[in-house]
Structure 1
Amino acid sequence: MNLLYRIAIAIATLVLPIIGLFSAKVNHFLKGRKGLLKKLADFRSKYPGKLAWFHVASLGEYEQAKPVISKLKKEKPDLLVVVSFFSPSGYDIAIRKPQENVDFISYIPLDRKSWAFDFVTLLNPTIAFFVKYDLWNHHILALKSRKVPTVLFSASFREDQNYFKSDGFFRSVLKKMDLIFTQNEESIRLLKSINYPEAYLAGDTRFDRVNETAKNPKHFLEIESWVEGKKVMVLGSVWEEDMKLLIPLINQKEKYLWIVAPHDLKPEPMEFWARSIQFKSTRYSQKESLEGVNVLFIDNIGMLSSLYQYARIAYVGGAFGKGLHNILEPIGFEIPVIFGALKNHSKFPEAAQSIAQGCGFSISDFESLKNEFAKLQEEEFYGNARSRAKSWMEANLGAADKIVSEVLLNYPLDGR
């Protein structure tokens, strides 16, 4: 299997440039990686100190990493932090502005053995963290060859994953982790079933992250004036499948204001939705005044996580398509959240947990959406849902503290 993996990676490095000639996404994926070793070498020549490397797949995993990075920097302020991304969608957003507690941002090279070893040699980390998943065999081998402590956190495993099907290549990659911190008890059980010894239940660091955002949200004065004294529903990361259900609800609820943050920021879907909505709407980038506007489309990245502060109710999209987006962001503001019915709850355990806690509500069609919306207009039911959101949030804080404390107990990071 190891040989097949190396062959597959080698083929990918040859085929992807050809595909990139016809695919803008693949071309962007490859173009961003050009010169990454030179950039990393320049950084390390200027900043040669002890370094923690955090690898994330994309933006969602970076959000999970932030509380751990923050806590680690508080404990070890002289430690350099480098964050690598696999996906351009995460990297492109992260490099737009300086990132708090992060000294350098990079792509991770494709997992060709020579590239991986060159990357790790130049990086010369004191410790390495992988967030949730995205474990790359040759990069991990390079770390192990240099005796670098390697940690996986915010892990959430399922029984159908390759790690637990057979004792082969994928399990061997997972077992190279020195410490694994999981989000839930089921993941601990699965790790025990393959005799992995160093597993700890820490919880989901996203709770720490959304709590931090809720305590220190961005403020938008024009929006605050617009929503003052009004009932607001924030529709976050919505797709066409979500809006097919939501637009009829919007058209029935004239007294509500609606903040719509699409996942896809292309103007065409927003223009189509606006034509289907009976009330006045505008895009945030085109607004002159919000007077008389019922629906505000957010056509940028970076606002949504703070916009939930204005909501009475939230809807989070994606469940009807590629996957549910972050329902914990509104929960951080103690806002009840509605979302689409999931086909596979195991990939998004927080959805079932929120339903069990009484602050999340799953819908499958317009009738169920209308019913859940109506229930949340009842003050007693609504107040209870908010109270349960708060309790659930508070009960799950502290994952970052647990992770960093245990890591530093095992690896004080004083010697390398």
Structure 2
Amino acid sequence: MGKFISGRKDLMNRLRSFKKKHPEKPIWFHVASLGEYEQAKPIINELKARKPNAKLVVSFFSPSGYEPASKKDQPNVDFVSYLPLDLKGDATEFVRVLDPSLAFFVKYDLWYEHIQALKNQNVPTFLVSALFRPKQAYFKSNGFFRKILFQLDHIFTQNEASLNLLAGIGYENASITGDTRFDRVHQNATNPQKFPQIETWISDRKAVVLGSVWEEDMIRLIPLINSHSEYRWIIAPHDLNQEKMREWAKKMKLRVGFYTQAGWNDSPNVLFLDTMGMLSSVYQYAHIAYVGGGFGSGLHNILEPIGFKVPVIFGKVRLATKFPEAKLSQEKGCGFEIETAEDLELIFNKLSTEDSYQKASRSAENWLRENLGAAKKICDEVDLILEKS
């Protein structure tokens, strides 16, 4: 909560300094956190390619997104900011000073006063990669939350179910353009960061990458790790809690190393990634991937390993409508949902056979290819909308 408040204290002064240097109207993207920022990146890259002189601003709601994004250069982004709290005066001042030419909100993080301020300034405002569920407030009653949607010039949805929900409340300025995360993971897989030490450590072994795992995942994974010493195991916990990692390590029968500590590449079977920012590229070394979070508050990004044509296993998803990619990956044959340690062993052994593995890997490649191009579709439609207006 401290960073949430303190990070916003000097917000307007920093924005004014940016605008003094760059008085032109920027394109503004607002995201909740890092996951939504990943969805915005393909659109940002596409817009920058079309408008190389345009300035792009990204605002974050949460410190977990703003803090890491603001600490290093962001390709094609000229300014990173917090979003002010959604109070009329603060929102009006932010939009007035920013003075954007276009505004994009990503997935779901919609704020009434900011959107109203944009409308008052006649700024074309869009929601991209939208994913709706019937139980959301927009669809329960015709009130405050639904009014927010009708302030938007156009909504680009990930799927037909979201489009149908909008049609059910009479919102017509919408179209299906897909999930921009497919574009993002493809971009990442085309030019991933390399880790020579990890490549040397893996050598001629097959590696299994366990990404964004929680306690509920590791309870099921540790027996699997202990029974398969023929693999290299790379573990990226969701929370970099050293005590928790060491607790898991004590339950393992295999040799364990930690990436930030000396001597980790002295032939351990298990490597903990006890640092941030590596996982999305480390999936390139995976033969099989497991992605965590399904048993808890939310499944993490299963499309990252799919980008490298890697079959992915995950825990039984509690909020299936919130993570439609889980069901789709199973239908396509590249994703595998498990509930127990026994389920996990069965699926893992199945994927250890060459025929099953190659079939799943080809399915991942085909599913990725089928869904590329969402960012281009969005930018094409935005251009058409602007031409008509």
For each residue in 1:23-77, what CA deviation from the matched residue of structure 2 results, as whole angstroms up to 9, or x when unmatched? xxx1121011111011001100110112100000000000000000000011111
* Matched ranges for 1:269-348 at <5 A: 269-348=244-323
Report the equivalent of 1:169. Answer: 144
Report the equivalent of 1:410. Answer: 385
Report the equivalent of 1:248. Answer: 223
Report the equivalent of 1:32. Answer: 7
Report the equivalent of 2:89. Answer: 114
For each residue in 1:357-412, what CA deviation from the matched residue of structure 2 results, as whole angstroms up to 9, or x when unmatched? 00000000100000000100111011000000000000000000000111112225
Distance of 1:249 and 1:96 partners within structure 2? 38
For each residue in 1:316-371, what CA deviation from the matched residue of structure 2 results, as whole angstroms up to 9, or x when unmatched? 00011111000000000000000000122101000000000000000001000000
Report the equivalent of 1:382. Answer: 357
For each residue in 1:68-92, what CA deviation from the matched residue of structure 2 results, as whole angstroms up to 9, or x when unmatched? 0000011111111000000100111
Pair 1:92 & 2:67 matched: yes
State TM-score, norm by structure 2.
0.99
Number of residue pairs matched by the alignment = 389
Equivalent position amino acid for 1:94 in 2: A
Q: Aligned with 1:411: secondary structure? A: helix
* Matched ranges for 1:60-209 at <5 A: 60-209=35-184
How far the C-alpha of 1:289 sits from its partner, in A, is 4.5
**For the structure 1 residues 106 and 412, does the alpha-carbon distance in structure 2 shift closer, same or farther, using more than 3 Å as the test?**
farther
Distance of 1:54 and 1:152 partners within structure 2? 10
Q: Aligned with 2:84: secondary structure? A: coil
Report the equivalent of 1:11. Answer: none
Report the equivalent of 2:213. Answer: 238
Equivalent position amino acid for 1:291 in 2: D
State TM-score, norm by structure 1.
0.92
Question: Contact 2:41/2:184 (CA < 8 Å) preserved in 1?
Answer: yes
Distance of 2:168 and 2:242 partners within structure 1? 49
Distance of 2:230 and 2:144 partners within structure 1? 57
Distance of 2:218 and 2:264 partners within structure 1? 25
How far the C-alpha of 1:268 sits from its partner, in A, is 0.9
Equivalent position amino acid for 2:180 in 1: T
How far the C-alpha of 1:269 sits from its partner, in A, is 0.8
Report the equivalent of 1:268. Answer: 243
User: Gaps spanning 5+ residues in structure 1: where?
Assistant: 1-25
Distance of 1:31 and 1:183 partners within structure 2? 35
Report the equivalent of 1:43. Answer: 18
Report the equivalent of 2:190. Answer: 215
How far the C-alpha of 1:288 sits from its partner, in A, is 2.2
Distance of 1:412 and 1:222 partners within structure 2? 52
**For the structure 1 residues 72 and 412, does the alpha-carbon distance in structure 2 shift closer, same or farther, using more than 3 Å as the test?**
farther
Q: Aligned with 1:326: secondary structure? A: coil
How far the C-alpha of 1:304 sits from its partner, in A, is 0.2
Pairing partner for 2:366 from 391, 402, 406: 391
Distance of 1:220 and 1:363 partners within structure 2? 30
Distance of 1:97 and 1:297 partners within structure 2? 24
Q: Aligned with 1:286: secondary structure? A: coil
How far the C-alpha of 1:301 sits from its partner, in A, is 1.3
Equivalent position amino acid for 1:390 in 2: E
Q: Aligned with 1:403: secondary structure? A: helix
Distance of 2:242 and 2:260 partners within structure 1? 11
RMSD value, Cα: 1.1
Pair 1:353 & 2:328 matched: yes
Distance of 1:37 and 1:266 partners within structure 2? 34
Report the equivalent of 1:55. Answer: 30
